[in-house]
Amino acid sequence: MWREAMTGYLLECWSVLCEAAPFVLFGFFVAGMLKALLPETWMTRHLGGRGPLSVFKAALLGVPLPLCSCGVLPAALGLRRQGAGPGATTAFMISTPETGVDSMAVTYAMIDPLMTVLRPVSAFLTAAVAGLAANLLPERMIPALAIASDGASGGAAGGCSCGGSCATTPLAAHEEVKAAPVLGARLRLGLGEAFGEMLADVGGWLLAGVLVAGAISTFLPPDIFVDVPGGELSSMLVMLLVGVPLYVCASSSTPIAASLLLKGLSPGAALVFLLSGPATNATTITVMARTFGTALTAVYVGAIAVCSLFFGYVANRVYTALGFNIHAVLGQVTEALPPWLEAGSAVLLLALIARALYAARRHGHCCG
């Protein structure tokens, strides 16, 4: 009996991976293009000060970048030290891990087009609210950063559950990219970083998400979330309490949310998990409190919690108003893809993740 159950579980995991792989690869390709074409000097020039415009720019900038909640810490520290205001830094730290081009592509494939729109819009607005609130804090409540550049990255990565691979981020200063005058060279370096350091940052967690999604699909009863005591609010609160301390990246949270939706979870509760899970975890909260102070950390966590619940409620209202049954359209996009493309993409993605993780571990060993 256990062999049949394990075989069914492994087949379900493979099915989830095949469903997500083509869109994950596409998402990281777009991320590499953004890395190659977006000047880093633009970010530091536009994110300074306490004005609301810098907050909106930072929130918008973070939406397409595929960084996890601890991988974004070194980038946020660098931006803060280069003059970014507390509001812009906070906004960037929320919108970046909550969504990205990779997770948007996977959301489109595994859930539906409406959630693909609601997710980044909610992430942007959550980041903007948190950033504007952070700018209202008195300067005395926000400690000045007095750590060196190397220490900033190392400190964040040291407490990170990524194993150190997130210490180098898409926003880290790469002199090779800056010095490369030829577009082809910039594209090559950008794509190399996307399928190298970025993929090492989230690849292992993406596979963990696939394993969890397979377990949910295989072992949980099909109607477990249909009649939840307390109704809509209780299911959203449960997803919030699970998501805040849990470490999942935006891509790995998507197959988990899709599997929970198949068990009857409401779209609003799924959105709460998709926002709160990737945005923070226990490690990030600890490192942020030590680096940015308890006041800014409280604004960060509070904004994520309140906005996640609010946008979860809005999502349920939107689905109801449009008469859209999310459980009837889950994963329909991937049905248009040929099986050979899904399977080939899954094999290629596994190979690229293994390569990226090996390179990151080897680099960490050499540097350590």
**CB under 8 Å to 14, separation ≥6 — which residues?**
346
Q: Do the Cβ atoms of 207 and 226 come closer than 8 Å? A: no
What is residue 48's three-state secondary structure? strand
* Total Cβ atoms within 10 A of residue 7: 10
Amino acid at 237: L
DSSP state of 167: G
User: Would the pLDDT of 123 be above 90?
Assistant: yes
Q: Which of 316, 290, 278 is nearest to 127 (CA)?
A: 278
User: Would the pLDDT of 1 be above 80?
Assistant: no
Number of structural domains found in the chain: 1
Q: What is the mean pLDDT of residues 112-119?
A: 91
More confident residue, 229 or 318: 318
Q: Do the Cβ atoms of 122 and 303 come closer than 8 Å? A: no
Q: Do the Cβ atoms of 128 and 60 come closer than 8 Å? A: no
Q: Do the Cβ atoms of 70 and 159 come closer than 8 Å? A: yes
* Predicted pLDDT at 49: 62
Element (H or E) spanning 124, and its range? helix 113-135
What is residue 84's three-state secondary structure? strand
pLDDT range class, residue 153, cuts 50, 70, 90: very low
What pLDDT digit, counting tens, does each position of 251-266 carry?
778 888 888 888 888 8
User: Would the pLDDT of 25 be above 70?
Assistant: yes
Q: Which of 297, 243, 300 is nearest to 272 (CA)?
A: 243
What pLDDT digit, counting tens, does each position of 164-214 carry?
444 444 444 444 444 445 777 888 887 887 788 878 877 787 788 788 777
d(CA 292, CA 166): 19
Which residues form the domain of 330?
2-367
DSSP secondary structure, 145-162, as one string: P---HHHHHHHHHHT-TT
d(CA 310, CA 122): 9
230: left (phi over 0), alpha (psi -120 to 50) or beta: left
d(CA 83, CA 240): 33
Q: What's the number of CA atoms in the CB half-sphere (13 Å) around residue 72?
A: 32
Indicate the burial class of 235 (C-beta count within 10 angstroms; 0-12, 13-18, 19 or more).
buried
Q: What is the mean pLDDT of residues 357-362?
A: 84
